[in-house]
Structure formats: structure tokens, C-alpha cells
A = this chain, B = another copy of it.
Amino acid sequence: MEKEYLLGLDLGGTNAVFGIVDRRGSVVATTAIKTQAYQRVEEFVEASVKAITQLAEQVGGVSEIEAMGIGAPAANYYTGTMENAANIVWAHGTVVPLADMFSQQLGIPVKMTNDANTVAMGEMMYGAARGMKNFIVLTLGTGVGSGIVINGQVVYGSDGFAGELGHVPVFHGGKGRPCGCGNKGCLETYCSATGVAQTAREFLKDTDEPSSLRNLEPEKITSLDVFLAAKDGDALAKRIFDYTGEILGMMCAEFTAYCTPEAFIFFGGLANAGELLMEPIRTSYAKHVLPVLGGKAKFMTSGLDSGTAAILGAAAVSLG
């Protein structure tokens, strides 16, 4: 018989957050350690197992946990390895078999993928995509991540890394904003939190239109500032969301040609803008989608509580 609990690990550059999740999708206990307080992966895993063991006492011990799922950067789902995770000191420039290490220490199955794919699993098991078999999650944070679900399965591709819609170009031929990936014009340079802030700086520079955003130092403007201004009725700030939504809707129309998803689910800081963003997305989508495929996709924001989404998603990956 299956055990009552799953374990999720949301592995970020700063914190490694552990959570125990019950079968109904409630996070019943969490703890955290500092990701980079360890020079070697062995030390990180040792500290993690200590934290997990202590945490699991709240539910009767590790023996009550069925499986573990991990959301981590540069994670290969097939091999359970982190491959050249640039921003983590014990994973930089090397291949770390993190899933196997946890599995051996804890004696349970462990699966791992990147955080956008964990969100997709979380939405399918516990969130907005319950009952759906074909949908796309776009995570709009510092960058843009994606989790694509086809026939009820997350798409990991031939190499375990698939689902990088943040790097589909909005402009082809070397045009558009430079992206951290080395290419230009990628979706995430426009539709991430940093992309929105960049759009704000460009709009402020290109016009004389009055805006409350002019009271801020341009380099310090964040997407939250833009959201608050737009909510207060600032016309320029609203146009920034229109522009961002126009691009997102156009790209969602393009993504529809791949897999006609039942829904696009938006997750992360920018998605909190709600209708300010969703309305221009829908309008642009309707304008750009291949007519024969149009009118079918829903546009939704995440059904997961933002505080526990990463843990729920990671735990859900253990079921994948």
C-alpha cells in the first residue's frame, strides 16, 4: 500500500526548502537550509538528510514517506542529475547525481526536474490543470520558464531538459533584446519581470508622456512598480502591460500550432497582475492564432498558493 506522504525539495540559489505533502495536496510541514553554505554536494546532501529526518518526525518518520521530488536548476529528469548549474557552488561546472544521492540516503525513489516543470506537475495534480491532459505553464519570474504537458505527461524531450519556451524568439534574425542564453529576441527578454522593467525604461525614454514611474530612478524600476502604477490608472504603465500581453498572446498562438493546449496557465510574480496582463494576452492570441485552431485555449492564472506552489510541484514530480 502507498504511504501517506510525499517529500518535495525546492532547490534555489539561496534556500533549499523541504516540505512534506499529504495525499490531498496539503503541505503539512516545511523546513529549509542554505543551499550554498556547503562547498561539496556530499555536505549539502548530508545536511539535507539531517533536516529531512528531523522534519519527518512530525509525520512519524521517513518511513511514512512514499517518494521525493526535486525542483532544481539545470536538472535532467531522465538521469536525475544537475548538469553545470552555473549559480550553485557545489554544482557549478560538473554533473551532480543529486536524485541518486538522496535516494540512497533516504531509501525512497527520487525524481528531479527544473522548477517550471515542477509547477506543471503541481498544477496538474493540485492546481488549475486538474483533469487536463494537454496544457502549457508559463512561469513569469526573473526569467520565463515553461512546462509543457502532452497526453498527461510533462515533456522532457530526448535529453531530459525540454520545455524552454522562454528562449523562443519573439524577433528572428538577431533582432531584439540580448538574452542571457547568448541569442537575441528571446521571449524572456520581454515577458519576464526584468523584461517588463526594461520595457518601462524604454517607454519612459521614448516618450514625454507623464507617468508616476518618472518619480523613480529608471534603473531601479521593477515590474511591481509598473503593476502598482497601472493599478492606479497610470496610462503608460498600462501600456507596458498591453505590450507584454501582446507579445505573450502572439507567442501562445504560436505554441498552439505545436500542441493545441487546452489551457495556458501563467505562474509567478507577473501573473499576479491578473486582468491587466490576461486581457491583452487573450486579445493578441485571438488575433494571431491559426484560425482553424483558434478559440479553444483557456487563459488562466495558477491555481496553486504561491507560498507552497514550489513544494507542491516538487512533491508532485515524484509521482510523474
Contact = CB atoms under 8 A, between A and B. Distances in A.
A291 interface: yes
Number of copies: 2
Interface string A148-185: 10110101011101111101111111000000011100
Interface string A275-315: 00000000000001011110011000000000000000000
A259 interface: yes
Q: Please provide the 9 A-B residue pairs with the shortest distance between their CB atoms, ordered closest to farther.
A: A157-B260, A158-B262, A134-B158, A164-B257, A162-B260, A167-B290, A157-B259, A159-B260, A162-B259
Interface of A: 132-135, 148, 150-151, 153, 155, 157-159, 161-165, 167-173, 181-183, 250, 254-255, 257-262, 288, 290-293, 296-297
Nearest to A260: B157
> SS class of chain A's interface: helix, strand, loop or mixed?
loop
A296 B262 CA distance: 30
Contacts of A161: 260, 292-293
B172 A250 contact: yes
A169 B292 contact: no
Given A164-B290, A183-B290, A292-B181, A258 B155 contact: yes
A117 B303 CA distance: 34
A258 B172 contact: no
A138 to B, nearest CB: 13
A157 B134 contact: yes
A244 to B, nearest CB: 15
A239 to B, nearest CB: 17
Contacts of A168: 254, 257-258
A259 B181 contact: no
A182 B151 contact: no
A164 B288 contact: no
A290 B174 CA distance: 13
Given A134-B157, A155-B259, 5 more contacts: A150-B155, A151-B153, A158-B259, A165-B257, A181-B292
B258 A162 contact: yes
Contacts of A259: 148, 155, 157-158, 162-163
Interface centre among A150, A288, A292, A297, by most chain B C-beta atoms within 10 angstroms, is: A150
